[in-house]
């Protein structure tokens, strides 16, 4: 399998945007769109695409089963991934924010701030430098519900259009950081397949939607 450059792509929105980029550089001829197959091999270009759940991209790359992967910076931060970040794609742009009900006072001394989130590590790190007691409630999705039903005071989540917050009567109380989609590499692969990886980066950089 070592003769292939193997890429793990997330199924879904981020993966579709990534495929558009790989399409532009002519790397997707082996891929049958709308197929349920999970692996596609191009024997001419010696590349292998694997389609995985977004949350699993980092696992495949860290283990070296995939040399490269495409994933959001939010996942890299939450997983504390031991990978190289090689390139910032021009898509998947959003931000981490603290959100809650209108006029909620974030900075309250002497009370524990209850935060619902899919991102407990990011949240813990962000609040570590503050003199504020917090309790993190880990959820797996639809976190906007939590402050509405009294499970938490606020949420820490990614905000893209702001539509989900608005639809649920919530608003951003504080922006935390910008995030976007990244090309990541396994550390060993980056050394041993350096030339091929550099060639890919160059091809992708020539696409105007991609920034360094």
User: Which chain residues interact with ligand PRP by CB under 6 A?
Assistant: 141-142, 144, 157-164
Taking a C-beta distance cutoff of 8 angstroms, is the pair 184, 81 a contact?
yes
The burial class, CB within 10 Å (0-12 / 13-18 / 19+), for 78 is buried
How far is 129 from 43, CA to CA, in rounded Å? 51
> What is the maximum span of the chain, computed from C-alpha positions, in angstroms?
64
Q: What is the closest distance, in whole angstroms, from the C-beta atom of residue 109 to ligand PRP in the complex?
A: 29
- At 4 the three-state DSSP class reads coil
90 versus 162: smaller Cβ distance to ligand PRP: 162
Which two structure tokens, joined as six digits, stand for 53? 């759940």
Q: What is the closest distance, in whole angstroms, from the C-beta atom of residue 193 to ligand PRP in the complex?
A: 32
Q: What is the closest distance, in whole angstroms, from the C-beta atom of residue 90 to ligand PRP in the complex?
A: 17
By beta carbon distance, the residue nearest ligand PRP is 141
95 versus 114: smaller Cβ distance to ligand PRP: 95
Q: What is the closest distance, in whole angstroms, from the C-beta atom of residue 100 to ligand PRP in the complex?
A: 14
Candidates 70, 64, 53, 68; CA nearest to 18 is: 70
Taking a C-beta distance cutoff of 8 angstroms, is the pair 201, 195 a contact?
no
87 versus 158: smaller Cβ distance to ligand PRP: 158
Q: What is the H or E stretch that residue 134 is in?
A: strand 134-138
165 versus 200: smaller Cβ distance to ligand PRP: 165
- At 159 the three-state DSSP class reads strand
Q: What is the closest distance, in whole angstroms, from the C-beta atom of residue 74 to ligand PRP in the complex?
A: 9
78 versus 144: smaller Cβ distance to ligand PRP: 144
């Amino acid at each position: 399998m070592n003769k292939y450059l193997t890429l793990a792509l997330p199924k879904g929105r981020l993966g579709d945007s990534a495929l558009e980029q790989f399409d532009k550089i002519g790397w997707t001829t082996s891929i049958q769109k709308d197929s349920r197959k999970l692996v596609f091999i191009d024997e001419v270009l010696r590349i292998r695409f694997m389609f995985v759940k977004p949350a699993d991209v980092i696992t495949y790359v860290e283990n070296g089963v995939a040399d490269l992967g495409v994933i959001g910076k939010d996942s890299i931060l939450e997983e504390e991934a031991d990978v190289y970040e090689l390139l910032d794609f021009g898509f998947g742009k959003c931000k981490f924010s603290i959100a809650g009900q209108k006029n909620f006072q974030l900075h309250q001394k002497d009370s524990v701030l209850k935060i619902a989130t899919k991102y407990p590590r990011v949240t813990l790190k962000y609040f570590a430098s503050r003199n504020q007691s917090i309790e993190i409630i880990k959820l797996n999705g639809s976190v906007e519900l939590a402050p509405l039903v009294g499970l938490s005071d606020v949420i820490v989540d990614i905000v893209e259009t702001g539509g989900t917050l608005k639809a649920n009567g919530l608003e951003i109380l504080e922006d935390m950081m910008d995030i976007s989609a990244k090309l990541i590499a396994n550390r060993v692969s980056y050394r041993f397949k350096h030339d091929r990886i550099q060639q890919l980066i160059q091809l992708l950089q020539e696409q105007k939607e991609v920034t360094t």
